Structure 1
Amino acid sequence: MAILVTGGAGYIGSHTCVELLEAGYEVIVVDNLSNSNPRALDRVYEITGKKPTFYEVDLLNHAGLESVFRENEIDAVIHFAGLKAVGDSVSVPLHYYQNNVTGTIILCHLMQKYDVKKIVFSSSATVYGAPETVPITEDSLLSPTNPYGRTKQMIEEILKDIYLSDKKWSIALLRYFNPIGAHQSGRIGEDPNGIPNNLMPYIAQVAVGKRSHLNVFGAEYATPDGTGVRDYIHVVDLAKGHLKALDKTLNEVGVDAYNLGTGRGYSVLEMVKEFEKVTGVPIPYKIVEARQGDIAICYADPTKAKAELDWSAEKGISEMCRDTWKWQSLNPDGYVIEEKNLFL
């Protein structure tokens, strides 16, 4: 059974490719490599012994994407591809709407044309904005506070409308919280371009000596230590959640949303202390001004995913920190140039 994975060379995409291949699926990856590296797919092959099919294609390239559908018998799609930096989305909103929303529309047109009506969509907890209460359930108000989050909400609404127009579609909307960690082998992990936007890769780069200290944005929130609290989830748990959602879409029709999180929040300083404890590496930090739009507390209620997908997160923050450090310490410069590169 062949699964098309858009954005499959990225952080979450590559980990999901490992799980798909190990579960016996054929994997076809489409990625424009704008924020990913084909060497991640080399590592996927190294881990699994199975080689995904790779196309360097942008979703906005209708003809290029159609060739993927024409050349392969695709059974379902897992859709990761998209721009994802909140700050950038505020600076260049049109770029985000064009890439994320228009790219998805082109993808769905081709899925419809080639009668591929099963999709797992990589949404985000940003669709909730600043939650009125926690933990956040799937019925919570959707009120994203930035263009990135609004693109995710728009795509969710587009997919719901597609289902309303054709009840043969099967759609899972996965709203996940804060993915961190890496594959236990240390061979694939998060390799951000430039300055990391997220906490854990920033901590890891400080630990490996690439950065002098961690900036902690704000320490006056209404939390136990004043720093922001988030729901961190191991990327392998998250990848396994996609397989559970895929199984549902392959066997049922309908459209539904699921939170993928642990149901537990940790503050920035708790994460720093846990990383230091697990690795033995001190993480110097400075408290700086809070970022506009950041919220105090955000964590999931994952009850629905447990009940309907038979999925729950298994790995704790110690494992998240351990696997992050293994990846970063073995790959201090991320995916550096190697002699072997099967996908370029």
Structure 2
Amino acid sequence: MQKTTTALGLAVLLSSAIPAVSQQSDAPPQGVTFYGQINRGVLSYDDGPTDNTYWFVDNSKSVSRVGATYDTPLSDGWRLHARGEIALKWKETNVVNRNDPHDDNYEFDRTQLRKLEIGFVHDTYGRFTIGQGAMSADGITGLDLSLTTVVAGTPVQDAAGGQLLAPLGAITPDNKRIKQAFRSMGSSRRFRLRYDAPITNGWRFIAAAGQEVLSYNDDQLYADTSLRYDGDHGDFRVRAGGALRWIEERPNVFIASGSILHRPSGWNVTMATGHESSGADYYYGKLGYIGRWFDLGQTAISVDIYDGDDIYQNRSSPVSFSSSRSYGIAVVQKVKSPKIDLYALLRRYEYTDSTDQYEDSLAFLAGVRWSF
């Protein structure tokens, strides 16, 4: 009840400060746009003692989804933008493992709601948004121009996040999962108030504050700010940004990423990092190449490395130290029409901590993303 009351109060407060819809007869007609993607594939995971294959899994790096937007002009230069979006992610790679190969606990519930928001936009004053949607730091660790982000990026855990780590010499796996031992510290979506300042010379400042309303056991407050840049400099395209995150009763976080693409050659490099006030940190690097070998679309290839310290996070079974390292190689074939990405990723995970040593593991994920 407290969550619902807070959310309604924020909505009333913002809506009272926004101009009413213009009644001018020459106002442009309102528009509804539908969009979505289906992103399915096959995951093979080898942790040493066992090798398992999972068919028709949903790729957690970019989950299947469907949504709709609505846009219409308001008075005095304001525009209204509304969005609703739900996930379609049964058998997600961040969930399935040898003990639960079919995601038996899956049920479609409110946690599948990704976005339900309304925004008021002005060219001079920026954008004010309220509702369930991205915090200001969402995506800040993935500012990446490599064109392989459908399967490879800073959140290296997404390829096999649900898999259980296997201690050396053990018959059965531990209760530690890949997604606990490898994290990007990225932000997500909450019920929040968000402000996006107008873009100035490629720079944009964003701030947001809100609360988790979809989780059944999270009453914490969330707030973050971010600064992003996107621009061209001769033959180079540059995209970069950083963010500060504050979460009630959890460590504060600084996260950042940046990417540079040399357009004529197709070579690109991406870097990212994350630091928690608890002492956990990681560094990520990617080298990529974009070729134009086929008429159907561009071909992108990348290799990356992730190196993290004290990343493992589990309040019920903490460790005094941990080391997380991952290497990956990815290839993505873009198809212009229909809009399809064909992809494959080979990723190695290496993890150890103060409680045990663990088998190195190898994940292979291949699939197809169709966007519409």
Q: What is the TM-score of this pair, normalised by structure 1?
A: 0.31
Compare the two structures and name the one with the higher helix fraction: 1
Compute the TM-score of the two structures, normalised by the length of structure 2.
Answer: 0.29
**Larger fraction in strand:** 2
> Between Structure 1 and Structure 2, whose CA radius of gyration is higher?
2
